Amino acid sequence: MAKLTFHGGVHPWDGKALSKDKPMKAIVPQGEMVYPLSQHIGAPAVPVVKKGDRVLTGQKIAEAGGFVSAPIYATVSGTVKAIEPRRVVTGDMVNAIIIDNDRLFEEVSYTPNDPEALDKKEIVELIKEAGVVGMGGAGFPTHVKLSPKEPEKIEYVIANCAECEPYLTSDYRRMLEEPEKLVEGLKIILRLFDNAQGILAIEDNKPDCIALLGGLVENEERITVKALKTKYPQGAERQIIYATTGREINSSMLPADAGCVVDNVDTIVAVYHAVKEGRPLMNRIVTVTGDAVRDPRNFYVRIGMNYRDLIEEAGGFKSEPEKVVSGGPMMGFALFDLDVPTTKTASALLCMTRDEVSMMEPGPCINCGRCVEACPGRVVPRRLAVIAEHHDAEAFVANDGMECCECGCCSYVCPAKRQLTQSIKSMRKTVLANRKKQG
Ligand code: SF4
Ligand code: SF4
């Protein structure tokens, strides 16, 4: 049978062997904790504590600043040291709550629930109150995603278990070590959509997860496991919707317009914690990996911990990294400073001894067409990059520049090493900013 897949894409070396076979390890934070108020799409959270307040693990320290926003919770006990701008992974300074960790880890108590006894409104409210956001990188508040205008038109809830980005193995470990939470979380989401089927969409390079989850949902009428062809960017929203349902969306549509809701593994587990256990979002799994790290592995990290401490937990650097990336090599951010906090959307810390890309000088385009072939967005990257270099926003939009999902495939395959994604990405940013300005 043909494997489920999409147009374009690439097969980069996956580097997953470095960390995939080591079990998740919980880290006990020692130092101060930093909680940026903007770690999600939408309005920044608003502090509900002030300097000098003592807080407990699991206590709300900032409330949602609007409907599209999310509250933030302390992940240690201690004293609020300051509320001030701190640097985050993007290099920006963002207002943050700083907690002096007292290392006592005193915790509030949580109220567990029986999801079967809750109505739809109560489920969404628990998810909202727990501060759950898309943890695959986007950071879009999950309660908003789970509140489409016409919920009866949602036909598929897709658990994005592809984890197609090279080096990342956090979803893999979560699927192997806590598969029941993933299935229970998906069942909770399905309770919101009476006409939907659940799909656990897993790339076929994870046969153990396919077998394990397949066994768990054997008797679940509303959930199936679908094996996807291993290809980057299989886990991008549009690509996974197309591969699993055959439906297409473009940049002006939401997944809900195609009858779909897509959530990643960690997000669905966070929904489980929020609804079943009544626990707010306080932890995530982070892959700390790369050839510059002594002991690459996956950590169960309390949000707010410093990146430098994660490297220490992984045994430190065995050689000086030339490049450190927050996220994976295809879509992550190069870091210039390791003193940044782990946020709700931080999936990985990749430390490489050689920065192969920066060692190569871009040359002229040789019109080979490889970027066009690899592009899952069905655009012409070489043309868009030239338009972007000329800052021609109108031509960029007319040539479907907004259909780019910033996957990086075009730059990856370009023999002339042209920085296609970089140019296209910055033009997209400009167009989006202009649209926002014009209302
Ligand atoms: S143009 Fe965009 S969508 Fe197409 S390959 Fe490049 S980064 Fe990916
Ligand atoms: S892959 Fe590079 S060299 Fe080939 S057409 Fe695209 S931009 Fe030009």
Token code pair at residue 308: 């430098």
Co-location of 271 and 287 in the same domain: no
Per residue in 17-36, pLDDT (tens digit) is: 999 999 999 999 998 999 99
pLDDT at 200 (0 to 100): 98
Residue 346 lies in a domain: yes
Q: Are 144 and 211 part of one and the same domain?
A: yes
Asked if residue 122 has pLDDT above 50, the reply is yes
The phi, psi pair for 179, rounded to 5°, reads: -65, -30
Beta bridge partners of 203: 228
Q: Which of 115-119, 134-138, 152-156, 202-206 has the lowest mean pLDDT?
A: 134-138
What is the SS3 assignment for 228?
strand
Domain for residue 418, yes or no?
yes
**Residue 24 domain flag:** no
- Picking from 94, 77, 82, the residue whose alpha carbon sits closest to that of residue 50 is 82
Please say whether the beta carbons of 20 and 173 come within 8 A: yes
Nearest CA to ligand 2 atom 6: 371
Same domain, 349 and 426: no
- Angstrom CA distances, 16 to 7, 23, 106, 415, stand at 24, 14, 36, 25
Q: Are 229 and 334 in the same domain?
A: no
Q: Is the per-residue pLDDT at 224 higher than 80?
A: yes
Residue 206 falls within a domain, yes or no? yes
Q: pLDDT value at position 434? A: 87
Question: CA 196, CA 327: separation in Å to the nearest integer?
Answer: 31
Pocket test for ligand 2, best of 360, 366, 413 (most atoms within 8 A of CB): 366
Q: Are residues 224 and 138 in the same domain?
A: yes
Confidence of residue 2 (pLDDT cuts 50, 70, 90): very low
Residue 432 to residue 424: CA distance in whole angstroms:
12
Question: Is residue 414 lining ligand 2, measured as CB closer than 6 Å?
Answer: yes
* pLDDT beyond 60 at 432: yes
pLDDT 10s digits, 53-63: 999 999 999 99
DSSP 347: -
What's the sign of the alpha-carbon dihedral 265, 266, 269, 271? negative
Query: Which CATH number goes with the domain that contains 333?
Result: 3.10.20.600
* Ligand 1 pocket mutation, candidates 420, 425, 429, criterion most atoms within 8 A of CB: 420
Residues of the chain with pLDDT > 70: what percent?
A: 98
Give the predicted TM-score (pTM) of the model.
Answer: 0.94
Mean pLDDT along residues 296-324: 95
How far is Cα 115 from Cα 122, in angstroms, rounded to an integer? 9
Residue nearest to atom 6 of ligand 1 (CA): 410
Start-to-end C-alpha separation, the chain? 48
| Nearest residue (CA) to ligand 2, atom 1 | 414
Six-digit token string for 297: 């592995």
Minimum-distance ligand 1 atom for the alpha carbon of 233:
8
Residue nearest ligand 2's atom 3 by CA: 365
- Residue 137: pLDDT above 80? no
Question: Is residue 258 assigned to a domain?
Answer: yes
What is the residue-wise DSSP string for 248-270?
---TT--GGGGTEEEEEHHHHHH
Same domain as 187, residue 168: yes
What is the domain-level CATH number for residue 42?
A: 2.40.50.100
Same domain, yes or no: 135 and 263? yes
Q: Are 57 and 76 in contact (CB under 8 A)?
A: yes
The whole-angstrom separation of Cα 174 and Cα 154 is: 26
Asked whether residue 380 is assigned to any structural domain, the reply reads yes
How far apart, in whole angstroms, are the C-alpha atoms of residue 358 and residue 421? 14
Average pLDDT over residues 307-336: 92
How many structural domains does the chain have? Answer: 4
Pocket flag, ligand 2, residue 268 (CB < 6 Å): no
Assess if residue 6 is contained within a domain: no
Q: Do residues 122 and 264 share a domain?
A: yes
What residues make up the domain containing 69? 31-102
Q: Is 419:406 a contact under the CB 8 Å cutoff?
A: no
Mean pLDDT of 132-143: 91
| Cα gap 253→434, rounded to integer Å | 19
| Same-domain status, 160 and 242 | yes
Going by the DSSP 8-state scheme, the letter that residue 104 receives in this structure is: -
Residue 369 has pLDDT above 90, yes or no: yes
The answer to whether residues 245 and 350 belong to one domain is no
Using the mean position of ligand 2's atoms as its centre, give its distance from the Cα of residue 391 in Å: 20
Q: Say if 9 falls within a structural domain.
A: no
CATH value at residue 155: 3.40.50.11540
> Could you tell me the distance, in angstroms and rounded to a whole number, from the CA of residue 410 to the centre of ligand 1?
5
Average pLDDT of every residue of the chain? 94
Instruction: Dump pLDDT digits (tens) for 252-270.
Output: 899 999 999 999 999 999 9
Pocket test for ligand 1, best of 371, 407, 414 (most atoms within 8 A of CB): 407
Q: Kindly tell me if the per-residue pLDDT of 438 is higher than 80.
A: no
- In terms of Cα–Cα distance, which of 158, 166, 174, 149 is closest to 298? 174
Question: Does residue 371 have its Cβ closer than 6 Å to ligand 2?
Answer: yes
Q: What share of the chain is helix, strand, coil (3-state, %, to 5)?
A: 30, 20, 50
Q: Which residues line ligand 1 (CB under 6 A)?
A: 374-377, 379, 381, 404-410, 420-421, 424
Are residue 339 and residue 242 in the same domain, yes or no?
no
- Domain end call among 102, 120, 146: 102
Supply the residue whose CA is at minimum distance from atom 2 of ligand 2: 414
End of a domain among 241, 259, 277? Answer: 277
Q: Are residues 193 and 241 in the same domain?
A: yes
Q: Is the confidence at residue 1, as pLDDT, over 50?
A: no
Ligand 1 pocket test target in 397, 400, 410, 429 with most atoms within 8 Å of CB: 410
Answer with the one of 261, 277, 293 that is the final residue of a domain: 277
Tokens of 133: 């956001």
Euclidean distance between CA atoms 201 and 221, whole angstroms:
16
